[in-house]
């Protein structure tokens, strides 16, 4: 066992590699581990790159475990690489990684350029404010190039890419790069699998192009500081260190994206990419202090600094279950985590003990006594902590913002043969839930029916297979069903009074609530207005509890409420006869009335589809999409394929995998993910809700 031999903060990088599926993430990562000496063999990609290929049996789960995070060293820096495997919950995987890493390498394919999913991951990185460097890969392929990718980065991503290298040779003849910072030629020795880099002078026929490209680079660098601007205007040359320092400032401020290029498969260009990670991506010290808030008072902000002296603040971002128990991956932001010590899971208030602390390496793990700020570690011994939970200690309770996970859109009923199996199943579901934040399960209290829900048919199908095959619990499932949501059309108010005598004790409460539509509040926000202080402080929690319960079950069909803000605007209590129970009940009822008064709305999940089809299948695919009321947004070409982007209601998309397979003999591939909730046309409501709607007036609509 070793004590945490972590690098000083300034020499640490927490990075992720993000890309469209097939851009070369896995191939590049393999080279990185090889060149950094982490792996002594260079593997080739044999594992699947499609959604279907991800079936985690024991052996594959071993791979997944090492894939969640790994640490290697480069130029005397400790680099923690967080992997973002591209499978069914692609979006969720990227979200959770982006939440805990400080910088990212974005890989583009030199042929495909900025593809739809590159755009998705780029926007996600924007959302988390993550500085990036870009790598244009596959320059050995025919039709590849750097210029069109740069252009698409500007046009489609609104980025400001700055080229640091020029490729030498095209396609089959691609041999290496010219480094515009040092003005050297870099060739990659084939015999050593690219490990040996041969540095030379720029070939004569490329001199002029290199000078010109360098000029553009210097122009960009000149923007970094006043001193550099002055120097540039005086037409003085920049030193290599000055260029790197300038690029670093601009990258950290997210004003530019340095662009490198190569071919991972042909072992070219990977080491300069690693240099760029060290030179241009942030260390934990470069990041602004992370914000948390007081769980008892959401308005009180708490800033955490990356210091060992501060109390612990860490975020659990991934959980893996195996036969030995669970492994919880955490990013530590402040303070220390130590073996055998207790921590508090701020979200539930539960205490947990760190039995072992690990630093994950490609194939091994190293036991640590302690780990500090900036570290990514895996903890064994936790029983409750799940993805998105904040870990802290008694001296400072705080909640860090969890990653955003999309809401589940599909559910199905699950049955077991007997109660024994059912108990085992509940255990298994709890495990899967901790691993996968886009999976939920619930037991209907009235009917006892067990419902599981997730991101799509395929997602639930994979989980079903895992339950039956890996956990060996036989189950039957019902038909998949859409999970609808409810919201409110316009602002509305509702007041409810609870007044009952229960077992000789009077219970009284009155609550007034206002709801306002807000499409940014996927989870309804709850606020108690200052002038609602007629509700005694002691009952505030009871009121919130009632509102949260009300949010789980809207007035139309009992679907969760989303896209609204809730404000408690008034209330009344009686000294002798008020109780928490009365306030909870009154709040829930007041919310229901407010939503009805504002006009309850039924929402359905809309899916974003990207379909890649050879030309001859395009007609059939489009015809089928039209029949599903899909809205076709774009038809593009990518190589010899036609790429269709469309949006369609999930309710219309059941069985799509089967249809596509039979339409194209398996030659058409697609991805589908939820992208929004949209109002359901009113004439469909009664079909979905299973009852006739009362007249509009009775629903309180104006
Ligand atoms: P990922 O889905 O982003 O992890 O992509 P992979 O690393 O699995 O690569 C997808 C496919 O592209 C595999 O067949 C790789 O062999 C291939 N590939 C990756 N990098 C290159 C490259 O530089 N040149 C060529 N020609 N193919 C590559
Ligand atoms: Mg891969």
How many Å lie between the centroid of ligand 2 and the Cα of residue 47? 7
Residues 125 and 214 placed together within one structural domain of the fold: yes
How many Å lie between the centroid of ligand 2 and the Cα of residue 293? 36
* Nearest CA owner, ligand 1 atom 28: 265
How many Å lie between the centroid of ligand 1 and the Cα of residue 24? 4
Residues 296 and 257 placed together within one structural domain of the fold: no
How many Å lie between the centroid of ligand 2 and the Cα of residue 87? 9
Q: Which residue, of 463, 482, 501, is where some domain finishes?
A: 482
The ligand whose atoms approach the alpha carbon of 263 most closely is 1
**What would the two tokens of residue 387 be?**
């993805």
Residue in 485, 74, 462 with CA at minimum distance from that of residue 270: 74
The answer as to whether 691 is a domain residue is no
The answer as to whether 700 is a domain residue is no
How many Å lie between the centroid of ligand 2 and the Cα of residue 31? 13
Q: Which of 21, 23, 24 best tests ligand 1's pocket when mutated (most atoms within 8 Å of CB)?
A: 24
* Nearest CA owner, ligand 1 atom 6: 24
Asked whether the CA dihedral 239, 240, 242, 247 is positive or negative, the reply is positive
Residues 478 and 497 placed together within one structural domain of the fold: no
The ligand whose atoms approach the alpha carbon of 23 most closely is 1
Q: Which residue, of 482, 516, 544, is where some domain finishes?
A: 482
| Atom number, ligand 1, closest to the C-alpha of residue 44 | 16
Strands (E) in 429-491, as ranges, are 440-443, 450-454, 475-477, 481-482, 485-488
How many Å lie between the centroid of ligand 1 and the Cα of residue 67? 17
| Atom number, ligand 1, closest to the C-alpha of residue 107 | 3
Residues 105 and 210 placed together within one structural domain of the fold: yes
The DSSP line for 581-606 is: HHHHHHHHHHHHHHHHHH-EEEEEEE
The ligand whose atoms approach the alpha carbon of 30 most closely is 1
pLDDT of residue 297: 75
* Residue 458 backbone dihedrals phi, psi, to 5 degrees: -65, -45
Q: Which residue, of 598, 626, 658, is where some domain finishes?
A: 598
The ligand whose atoms approach the alpha carbon of 85 most closely is 2
Helix (H, G, I), strand (E, B) or coil at 145: coil
396: which DSSP letter?
Answer: B
| Atom number, ligand 1, closest to the C-alpha of residue 30 | 7
The answer as to whether 702 is a domain residue is no
How many Å lie between the centroid of ligand 1 and the Cα of residue 89? 20
The answer as to whether 238 is a domain residue is yes
The answer as to whether 101 is a domain residue is yes
Which CA distances in Å does 453 have to 179, 246, 429, 522, 677? Answer: 50, 49, 11, 17, 16
pLDDT of residue 534: 75
- Spell out the SS3 assignment of 408-444: CCEEEEEEECCHHHHHHHHHHHHHHHHHCCCCEEEEC
* Nearest CA owner, ligand 1 atom 2: 22
Q: Which of 45, 136, 140 best tests ligand 1's pocket when mutated (most atoms within 8 Å of CB)?
A: 45
Residues 95 and 180 placed together within one structural domain of the fold: yes
Distance CA 72, CA 69 (A): 10
Neighbours of 155 (CB within 10 A): 10
Q: Give the residue numbers spanning the domain of 528.
A: 486-598
Residues 608 and 549 placed together within one structural domain of the fold: no
**What would the two tokens of residue 626 be?**
């039209």
Residues 382 and 276 placed together within one structural domain of the fold: no
The total number of structural domains in the chain stands at 5
Residues 579 and 541 placed together within one structural domain of the fold: yes
Q: Which of 265, 266, 267, 269 best tests ligand 1's pocket when mutated (most atoms within 8 Å of CB)?
A: 265
Ramachandran quadrant class, 116 (left: phi over 0; alpha: psi -120 to 50; beta: rest): alpha
420: domain CATH number is 3.30.70.870
Ramachandran quadrant class, 446 (left: phi over 0; alpha: psi -120 to 50; beta: rest): alpha
Residues 440 and 362 placed together within one structural domain of the fold: no
How many Å lie between the centroid of ligand 2 and the Cα of residue 622? 29
The answer as to whether 565 is a domain residue is yes
How many Å lie between the centroid of ligand 1 and the Cα of residue 261? 14
Could you say which residues of the chain have pLDDT below 70?
1-6, 40-67, 84-93, 322-323, 362-363, 533, 638-639, 694-702
The ligand whose atoms approach the alpha carbon of 46 most closely is 1
203: domain CATH number is 3.40.50.300
Beta bridge partners of 232: none
| Atom number, ligand 1, closest to the C-alpha of residue 263 | 23
Residues 266 and 315 placed together within one structural domain of the fold: no
How many Å lie between the centroid of ligand 1 and the Cα of residue 599? 51
The ligand whose atoms approach the alpha carbon of 19 most closely is 1
pLDDT of residue 441: 93
Residues 197 and 310 placed together within one structural domain of the fold: no
Average of per-residue pLDDT values in the chain: 88
Which CA distances in Å does 512 have to 48, 70, 260, 589? Answer: 55, 52, 59, 10
The answer as to whether 151 is a domain residue is yes
Residues 266 and 393 placed together within one structural domain of the fold: no
Report the pocket of ligand 1 as residue ranges, CB < 6 Å: 19, 21-27, 45, 49, 86, 137-138, 140-141, 263-266
The answer as to whether 93 is a domain residue is yes
| Atom number, ligand 1, closest to the C-alpha of residue 49 | 2
How many Å lie between the centroid of ligand 2 and the Cα of residue 402? 25
């Amino acid at each position: 066992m070793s004590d945490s031999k972590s690098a000083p903060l300034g020499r640490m990088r927490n990075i992720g590699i993000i890309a469209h599926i097939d851009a070369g993430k896995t191939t590049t990562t393999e080279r990185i581990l090889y060149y950094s000496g982490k792996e002594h063999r260079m593997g080739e990609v044999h594992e699947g790159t499609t959604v279907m290929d991800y079936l985690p049996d024991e052996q594959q789960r071993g791979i997944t475990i090492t894939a969640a995070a790994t640490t290697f060293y480069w130029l005397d820096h400790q680099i923690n690489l967080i992997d973002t495997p591209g499978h069914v919950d692609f979006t969720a995987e990227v979200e959770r990684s982006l939440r805990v890493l400080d910088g990212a390498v974005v890989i583009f394919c030199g042929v495909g350029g900025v593809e739809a999913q590159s755009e998705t991951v780029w926007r996600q990185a924007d959302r988390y404010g993550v500085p990036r460097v870009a790598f244009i890969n596959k320059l050995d392929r025919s039709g590849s190039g750097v210029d069109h990718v740069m252009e698409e980065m500007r046009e489609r991503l609104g980025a400001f890419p700055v080229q640091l290298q020029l490729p030498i040779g095209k396609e089959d003849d691609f041999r290496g790069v010219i480094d515009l910072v040092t003005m050297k030629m870099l060739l990659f020795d084939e015999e050593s699998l690219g490990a040996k880099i041969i540095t030379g002078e720029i070939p004569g026929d490329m001199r002029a192009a290199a000078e010109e490209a360098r000029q553009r680079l210097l122009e960009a660098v000149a923007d970094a500081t006043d001193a550099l601007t002055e120097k540039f205007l005086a037409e003085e040359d920049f030193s290599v260190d000055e260029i790197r320092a300038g690029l670093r400032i601009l990258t950290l401020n997210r004003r530019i994206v340095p662009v490198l290029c190569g071919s991972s498969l042909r072992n070219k260009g990977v080491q300069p990419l690693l240099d760029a990670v060290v030179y241009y991506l942030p260390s934990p010290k470069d990041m602004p202090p992370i914000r948390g808030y007081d769980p008892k008072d959401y308005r009180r902000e708490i800033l955490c600094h990356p210091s060992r002296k501060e109390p612990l603040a860490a975020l659990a971002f991934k959980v893996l279950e195996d036969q030995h128990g669970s492994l919880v991956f955490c990013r530590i932001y402040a303070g220390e985590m130590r073996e055998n010590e207790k921590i508090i899971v701020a979200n539930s208030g539960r205490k947990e003990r760190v039995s072992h602390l690990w630093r994950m390496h490609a194939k091994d793990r190293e036991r640590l006594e302690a780990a500090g700020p900036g570290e990514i570690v895996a903890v064994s011994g936790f029983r409750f902590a799940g993805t998105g939970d904040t870990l802290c200690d008694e001296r400072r309770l705080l909640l860090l913002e969890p990653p955003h996970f999309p809401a589940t859109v599909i559910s199905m009923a699950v049955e077991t043969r007997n109660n024994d199996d059912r108990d085992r199943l509940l255990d298994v579901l709890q495990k899967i839930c901790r691993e996968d934040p886009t999976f939920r399960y619930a037991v209907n209290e009235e009917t006892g029916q067990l419902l599981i829900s997730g991101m799509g048919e395929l997602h639930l199908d994979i989980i079903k297979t895992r339950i039956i095959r890996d956990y060996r619990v036989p189950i039957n499932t019902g038909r998949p069903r859409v999970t609808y949501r409810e919201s409110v059309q316009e602002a509305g108010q509702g007041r409810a009074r609870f007044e009952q005598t229960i077992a000789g004790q009077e219970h009284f409460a009155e609550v007034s609530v206002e709801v306002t539509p807000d499409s940014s509040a996927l989870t309804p926000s709850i606020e108690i207005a200052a002038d609602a202080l007629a509700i005694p402080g002691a009952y505030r929690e009871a009121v919130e509890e009632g509102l949260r319960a009300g949010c789980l079950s809207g007035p139309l069909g009992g679907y969760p409420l989303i896209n609204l803000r809730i404000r408690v605007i008034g209330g009344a209590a009686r000294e002798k006869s008020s109780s928490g129970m009365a306030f909870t009940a009154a709040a829930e009822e007041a919310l229901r009335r407010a939503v009805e008064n504002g006009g309850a709305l039924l929402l359905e999940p809309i899916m974003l589809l990207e379909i890649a089809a050879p030309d001859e299948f395009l007609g059939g695919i489009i015809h089928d999409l039209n029949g599903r009321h899909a809205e076709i947004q774009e038809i593009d070409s990518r190589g010899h394929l036609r790429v269709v982007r469309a949006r369609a209601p999930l309710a219309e998309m059941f069985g799509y995998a089967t249809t596509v397979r039979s339409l194209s003999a398996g030659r058409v591939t697609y991805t589908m993910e939820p992208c929004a909730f949209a109002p359901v046309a009113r004439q469909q409501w009664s079909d979905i809700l299973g009852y006739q709607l009362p007249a509009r007036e009775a629903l309180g609509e104006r």
